[in-house]
Amino acid sequence: MFPLIFISKKQIMEERNITFVEEFVIQGFYDLPNLRGLLFGFFMFIYMSILIGNGLIIVITKTDPVLHTPMYFFLGNFSLLEICYTTVVLPRLLTNFWTQNRNISFTACAVQLCFFLIFAATECFLLAVMAYDRYVAICKPLHYPVIMNQKVCTQLVVGSWICGIPVQIGQTYQIFSLPFCGSNKLNHVFCDILPLLKLTCGDTSLNELCVFVVAVLFVMVPFLLIIWSYFNIISTILNLPVGMGRSKAFSTCSSHLTVVALFFGSAIITYLRPKSTYSPGIDKILSLFYTIVTPMFNPWIYGLRNKDVIAALKKILSK
C-alpha cells in the first residue's frame, strides 16, 4: 500500500505554478491620492456622527420610561446594530487613509466579510420585524399589547441577531476555500463577496449561485415581508375616516420606509442585478449607501421627526 500523503492547499497551488495569495490590497480610493486627507476627515466625521447619533438613540430608549414600548425597543437594537455594522468597515478604511497601508491579511479579510454579512442579514430581518410591529400597531391596535408582548419582542430581536450566523459563516468559508490566484488587488472599499470572486481562478458559477440564493433568502424575503406589511398598513389607513389619525399613522411609518428604501434599494441593486452590469466604481458608491449613509441618517430620520424622541432628548439635556 502506498503511504497516505496529506498535501496542503498552498503546496498544491505551488506545484501548479499558481501564486498563493496571503493578503489583499484594498484599492479603495487609491486613485484620488490628492484627496486622502480630505477623505479621511470626511469619513471620520461620518463615523463619529454614527457613533454619537445612534449612541444617543440607545441611551434615550433605555432611560426614558415613555419610550419603553416595542417600537423603541426595536429602534434601540437597530441603532446598536448600525454601530456594529459600520465598525466592521469604517475603522479599517480610516486606518488605510491614515497609514497609506492598504494591505489586509487573508484571515482579517475573511473575518471582516463574515461579520459584515452577519450584521447585514441581521439588519434585513430587524427592518422586517419593525415593519411587522407597525402592521400590528395600525391594523390590529386592540390586540397589539397581547401580540407584541415583551417575550415576543425579545424573541424577534434575538432571532434577527442570530438567524443569519450559521449561513453567513458557511458562505464566508465557501468563498475563502476558493483558490485566489494572480492579482491580490481588491477593487473595493472593504472585503465583499463580489469583488473577492473576481480574484478567484476557476469556475465560480456555483459560488455565484449560492450568493444569489442567500441574497434572495436574506434580502428579498424580508423585503417582501415589509412590502406585505405596508400594503396592509396603507389599506387600513385609507379605510380610516378622514382626520381619524391618518397623518399620525403615516408619520410613524414614513421614517421606517425611508431607511428601508435606502438600505434595501442599494443592497438589491448590488447583489441581485445581472452580472454583466457589474461595475467596481458603481459598487463602491452603492456599498457606501448601505454601510455608511443609512447608519448616519438613522438617528436623524427617527429622531428629528419624532416628538417623543425629541422630548426625551430635552429631558436628558436639561439634567
User: pLDDT tens across 202-244, in order?
Assistant: 778 888 888 888 888 888 899 999 999 999 988 888 887 766 5
Residue 276 binned pLDDT confidence (cut-offs 50, 70, 90): low
Cell numbers of 99, please? 497609514
For residue 1, pLDDT over 60 is answered with no
Top mean-pLDDT range of 24-33, 60-69, 117-126, 209-218: 117-126
194 or 270: which leads in pLDDT: 194
| pTM listed for this prediction | 0.85
For residue 25, pLDDT over 90 is answered with no
Map out the domains of the chain as residue ranges: 17-318
The architecture CATH gives domain 17-318: Up-down Bundle (1.20)
pLDDT number for residue 305? 67
